[in-house]
Structures are given as structure tokens and as C-alpha cells.
Amino acid sequence: MRGALFASLILAAWPAVAAARQPVVVELYTAQGCASCGEANANLEKLAARPDVLALTFPVDYWDYLGWSDTFAKPEFTERQKAYVAHLQLREPYTPQVVVDGRAQAGGLQSEKVEKLIDQAQAAPHRAPDFAFIGDRRVDVGYGPAPKAGAEVWLVRYDPREQDVVVKKGDNRGQTVEHINVVREIKKIGAWRGKPAAFRMPPAREEGLATAILVQAPGGRVIGVGRMKAPAPRAAPAER
């Protein structure tokens, strides 16, 4: 009881100031069965090395019918992309597609346009909340401006290791497709309305994953980003 009261007092006393500039979230929607996605994956690998960018790879499953089932794809990644399609008023999802901070999108091969979108996101007025991780099971989100309907809090766990997959069927048959920061889990863990709040994080399903928290308008712009220190990466074996 005392512990809960102490945590509540800390949250209530959180200063209502903007945090240091947080990274721009760059999401790549890609697929191992997509003939033009290899180059987009390589472009994202360059962005992943930047400290001012959180680069995330979301493999989708709607190209599996071409003969190769993507080894990392999950239906929830496709659903996330569809939410962006609706928000950005696009006709349909496609690969490779890059979404920057939930605000704008570009083709995954349009590296110059992606760079401009990152610059624009960094220059936009942005008062993000602070984040504090309490061990690996709780995250506290501080003050900040929130949408009238509130924002969603998403837990994202991704593999920071470089991973290679040898594709045996489909348009990329015989090719090795490189990946970085492949998302392995994404889960909505609560709602945030601009005031300090604490959120419980479920345990990771795999070892060696990095953790990020995204506070985001439903289907739209990213309001805040919190990152836990990633574990030391171990070499990932090539998938075959």
C-alpha cells in the first residue's frame, strides 16, 4: 500500500516540462516475398544506426500467397499498416512503405523523401512526455499535451540484431534478404490523457529483444517515444 502511494506521489510531482528531443519513429512495412523490398531494408539499416531515429521493421503477410511465407510476418503488423492507410487516406497498403512518426509516408525506395520527412518531423513543434522505466515490468509516462480523445500506449519489442533470411520460393527465390530491428511483439497496454500514469509491461516472449513505448494518437501521429536500454546483441543465425 505504501509503495503504491509513494509511486502515486512521484507521478503527481512529475514536472510539466518538455522532455529532451525524442527519436523520430520510422516504420518500414516490408515482406520477404516483395521483389523491391531488399533495397528498402538496406535503407532502413542505415537509419537504424542514427541515435535520432527509432527504425522499426514490420513484416507483413499479404504477399505470402505468391509462394513464400514471410518468416517474421504477423497479422497485427498488417492491421497496423491498414490503420495508417485509413489515417493517411491512401487507397491500399503496399510494400515497401515507410511511415514517419505516424504523420506522413513514402515509398521505401524514396530515401531522399524519407530523409525530408524525418527532418520535418524533427522540426515540428513537439512537447513529448517523459518516460521512466521501473525495471522491465513497468513504464511511467509523464505530462504532455494529448488529443481530446486520448492517446494509445503501445509496447513494441524488436530484435536489434541483423538477421538474414534465404528465400527459397517466389519472386526473391535464391536471394538473401537482410533485416534489422524486426518487430517481434506489439501490444496496446493502455490509454494516456496527458497526465502522469503508470503502465504494466508484460514479460517478453523472447530473450534479447529491445523495448520501446510509443504514445500515439489512434492510427496517427506519434506523440512520445520511450526506449529501454537494449541488451547486448548476440549474433543471429541466418534463417533458412
**What is residue 14's predicted lDDT score, i.e. its pLDDT?**
45
pTM: 0.88
Q: Which residues, other chains included, contact 240 with Cβ-Cβ below 8 Å and sequence gap of 6+? A: 165, 166
Lowest mean pLDDT among 10-19, 80-89, 137-146, 227-236: 10-19
**What is residue 170's predicted lDDT score, i.e. its pLDDT?**
85
Q: What is the mean pLDDT of residues 228-234?
A: 64
* pLDDT higher than threshold 80 for residue 9: no
Specify which of 87-96, 169-178, 227-236 reaches the highest per-range mean pLDDT. Answer: 87-96
CA atoms within 13 A on the CB side of 124: 19
Confidence of residue 10 (pLDDT cuts 50, 70, 90): very low
Sheet holding 97-100, edge to edge: 104-107, 97-100, 24-30, 53-59, 182-192, 151-159, 210-216, 222-227
Distances (CA, A) of 93 to 31, 39, 54, 148, 151: 12, 18, 22, 28, 23
Confidence of residue 236 (pLDDT cuts 50, 70, 90): low
Q: Length of the chain, please?
A: 240
DSSP 211-228: EEEEEE-TTS-EEEEEEP
Distances (CA, A) of 141 to 122, 152, 211, 215, 220: 21, 12, 15, 9, 19
- Give 5 or 117, the one with higher predicted confidence: 117
Could you tell me the three cell numbers for 106? Answer: 513514402
**What is residue 171's predicted lDDT score, i.e. its pLDDT?**
87
**What is residue 15's predicted lDDT score, i.e. its pLDDT?**
42
Distances (CA, A) of 103 to 1, 25, 115: 41, 10, 14
**What is residue 219's predicted lDDT score, i.e. its pLDDT?**
82
**What is residue 167's predicted lDDT score, i.e. its pLDDT?**
94
Confidence of residue 141 (pLDDT cuts 50, 70, 90): very high
Confidence of residue 233 (pLDDT cuts 50, 70, 90): low
Task: Give the Cα separation of 74 and 60 in Å (integer).
Answer: 6
Q: Looking at this protein, which amino acid is placed at residue 37?
A: C
* pLDDT higher than threshold 90 for residue 86: yes
Q: What is the mean pLDDT of residues 97-105?
A: 97
Confidence of residue 6 (pLDDT cuts 50, 70, 90): very low
Q: Are 47 and 55 contacting, i.e. CB atoms less than 8 angstroms apart?
A: yes
Closest of 76, 81, 70, 69 to residue 27, by C-alpha: 81
Domain boundaries, the chain: 23-227
Task: Give the Cα separation of 159 and 236 in Å (integer).
Answer: 9
Q: Could you report how far apart the first and last alpha carbons of the chain are, in Å?
A: 52
Chain Cα centroid distance, residue 37: 18
18-39: per-residue pLDDT in tens? Answer: 345 799 999 999 999 999 999 9
Q: For domain 23-227, give the CATH number.
A: 3.40.30.10
Lowest mean pLDDT among 3-12, 66-75, 89-98: 3-12
Closest of 59, 89, 100, 62 to residue 77, by C-alpha: 59
* pLDDT higher than threshold 50 for residue 111: yes
